A and B are shown apart, each in its own frame.
Chain A
Amino acid sequence: DAGITQSPRHKVTETGTPVTLRCHQTENHRYMYWYRQDPGHGLRLIHYSYGVKDTDKGEVSDGYSVSRSKTEDFLLTLESATSSQTSVYFCAIRGVVTDTDTQYFGPGTRLTVL
């Protein structure tokens, strides 16, 4: 499964607490992405990274921040979690090589904010 892991796989937290989700890849891919998946909304891009310390916002970035200090790790932080951030979060990676420009997804993290 393209060498992507996510941690934790499940988390329950309370409103107002900070939460950090981790995506780790072993493929040395340049691009990494964070999506959230909610019923009726499909997959929506939160933030993405195109290199170490290079990140950009996606469609639903409000309330989220990211960091990428090394190629293999991409962190998603909810500074103060809200119930509307209850979701399944998927990380994805993409290489920048012809014919391998597809995004491959990690196993997901189910986050519940009470």
Chain B
Amino acid sequence: GENVEQHPSTLSVQEGDSAVIKCTYSDSASNYFPWYKQELGKRPQLIIDIRSNVGEKKDQRIAVTLNKTAKHFSLHITETQPEDSAVYFCAASVGYSTLTFGKGTMLLVSP
């Protein structure tokens, strides 16, 4: 089955810096890649997603890039703010029915 690796497991940045979280997947048939943000004690919430027919997608300060050849996708957060501090999960799906999640990245943004 699908395997998703996520790095780094923790990431500390200063407010205003950029943050990049990277994921790789194993199944070349994967075609949907969402990113979730989970604040402490809360449910995971979708922040952005990308489908395999698109190489990049942006939404204000966040962007996701996809390299299908390398089976690699990344989350980019610019101008980080303390409220961006959370655990971020990447996921991959073949045919949208089920998602396989990475183990998560704890992002800490210091003022």
Contact = CB atoms under 8 A, between A and B. Distances in A.
A45 B103 CA distance: 13
B83 to A, nearest CB: 18
Q: At the interface, is chain B mostly helix, strand, loop or mixed?
A: strand
A101 B6 CA distance: 22
A59 B1 contact: yes
B98 A42 contact: no
A107 B42 CA distance: 7
A48 B99 CA distance: 11
Interface of A: 1, 31, 33, 40-45, 48, 50, 58-59, 90, 94, 101-108
21 contacts: A1-B43, A31-B97, A40-B103, A42-B6, A42-B101, A42-B104, A43-B89, A43-B101, A44-B101, A45-B99, A45-B100, A48-B97, A48-B98, A58-B98, A101-B32, A101-B96, A102-B46, A103-B46, A104-B46, A105-B44, A106-B43
B12 interface: no
Contact of B43 (A42, A101, A108): A108
